[in-house]
Amino acid sequence: MTTDSASIVVTGALGGAGQWIVERLLTDGYDVVGLDRRLPADGGPTGAEFFQVDLTDSGETAELIAAAEPDAVVHLAAIPDPTSHAGSRVFANNVLSTYNVLEAAGRAGANVVWSSSESAYGFPFAESCLVPEYVPIDEVHPLRPEDPYGTSKEAGEAVAAATARRHNVSVVSIRPSWVQYPGEYQTSGNRERFNLEELAERPEGTSPSGGAGNFWSYIDVRDLASMVSAALDADIEGHDAYLCHAAENYLGIETERLIDALFDDAPPSDLEGDAAAFTTAKAERDLGWTPEHTWREAEDEAVEGPDFE
């Protein structure tokens, strides 16, 4: 859908991933309108303008998106997990803001790329380890969230499908893994603390910590930005969802060994080596996207990322 001087609205534009995605879209040649709860202190990068907004206010949201006359909307804004807020606030904020943004985008005739989450499957924040039906997990695996964040993302995907039907626009739901930033990977701490024998020998009924919730998966923020770019360029009809994960787990251990240690009754698996427990084959097929970055290089990589807070 890329056109000369195409305009993209980005919500959550000043967030960690938001800044990288804004920078990528500017590099791609888009004009960017950033929406966030605050404004950048230095005015933001050249080629982008910013507006302060409460996305749970449908009037504010609709007014700003309509005024931008966007070709597409990238919706990133959300409360990112259920651990630091009341669950009701997480759910209400995420679902209402997603509805307001996608409805305004649809009314403007703009295609949408938005950030759902691997949490929609229910694995990361479950009170006890949920057993996947099979691995690698793909986009058709059942969504079974129990927590307010994952449930808000499943509800958001229902809103996405409804928006595509109602307004005849395309809506891509990206399901990213745990987002990591070059030179600042938090995965290293989990790997240093990890002990495979302790995982296998933990008392029955106890939940492991340190990354087991998403089976030690991650995604480099640059690869997330490149998937957003690829989704904007793709010829998608209606609503579709795509996983966004690195190619391997961040432990450097065979994934089947990890799954076998994690579950007494391990699900059927078709994995080789340390391949990720989530497959991105669909994104490669439909979007021409594959992850380029690995923790082995990126954890200590010196990269000057965007900083226009």
Q: How far apart are alpha carbons 137 and 142 in whole angstroms? A: 9
Residue 308 lies in a domain: no
Q: Rounded mean pLDDT of the chain?
A: 94
Q: Is the pLDDT of residue 3 over 60?
A: no
Q: Given this model, what pLDDT does residue 207 score?
A: 73
Classify residue 233: in a domain, yes or no. yes
- Quickly state the pLDDT bin for 2 (edges 50, 70, 90): very low
**Is 80 exceeded by the pLDDT of residue 309?**
no
pLDDT at 37 > cutoff 70: yes
What confidence category does residue 42 fall into, taking pLDDT thresholds of 50, 70 and 90? confident
Tens-digit pLDDT profile for residues 175-231: 999 999 999 999 999 999 999 999 988 886 677 767 788 999 999 999 999 999 999
For residue 115, is it within any domain?
Answer: yes
Query: What mean pLDDT comes out for the span 15-39?
Result: 97
Burial class (CB in 10 A: 0-12, 13-18, 19+), 27: exposed
Residue 169 included in any domain? yes
Tell me the per-residue pLDDT of 226-271, one tens digit each, with 9 for 90 and over: 999 999 999 999 999 999 999 999 999 999 999 999 998 899 998 9
- Say what the pTM is: 0.96
User: Residues 42-54: what's their mean pLDDT?
Assistant: 93
Cβ burial, residue 62 (10 Å; 0-12/13-18/19+): middle
DSSP character for 264? T
pLDDT value of residue 1: 46
In a domain, 88, yes or no: yes
48-52 vs 72-75, strand pairing mode: unpaired
pLDDT tens for 103-160 read 999 999 999 999 999 999 999 998 888 899 999 999 999 999 999 999 999 999 999 9
What whole-number distance in Å separates Cα of residue 137 and Cα of residue 270? 10
Tokens matching residue 26: 């500017």
Q: Is residue 21 part of a domain?
A: yes
- The CATH number covering residue 267 comes to 3.40.50.720
Domain count, the chain: 1
| pLDDT in the model for residue 205 | 63
**304 within a domain of the structure (yes/no):** no
In a domain, 309, yes or no: no
Q: Which domain holds residue 129?
A: 7-298
